[in-house]
Amino acid sequence: MKVTREWPALVRSLMNEHGLSERKLAPMANVHRTTLRNFLSGNAPQMPVDHLERILSVFGYELETAIVFPEEKEGSGCHMRHHASVSVAV
């Protein structure tokens, strides 16, 4: 999954809210600390979806993904767009 600025900011906000450091969060999410650090600093252009799912699950959230196909305009071809959102796990 391509990492945008919103994902690291969200995770950093959750870490602050729950008083978790990178050192504490990494093993809780079963993610290597260097991977987490690179993600949070924006130095990781890609993040495996399962890593992000595990990180979010520590805070009680789950990742929902959907593939969105916008309406095709004549002659434009079909372009696929991926959308991901976070929801509270029930």
Per-residue pLDDT tens over the stretch 24-80: 999 999 999 999 999 999 887 778 888 989 999 999 988 776 666 666 555 555 444
Q: Per the structure, how many domains does the chain have?
A: 1
Whether 13 maps to a domain, the answer reads yes
Contact by Cβ (8 Å): 35, 51: yes
- Domain of 24 in residue numbering reads as 6-88
Asked whether residue 1 is assigned to any structural domain, the reply reads no
Backbone φ and ψ of 78, nearest 5°:
-100, 130
User: How many CB atoms lie under 10 A from the CB of residue 63?
Assistant: 19
Closest CA to 45 of 78, 1, 76: 1
CATH of the domain at 40: 1.10.260.40
Q: Is residue 32 part of a domain?
A: yes
Q: What global pTM score does this model have?
A: 0.70
Q: What pLDDT shows up at residue 58?
A: 94
**Rounded Cα distance, 31 and 27, in Å:** 6
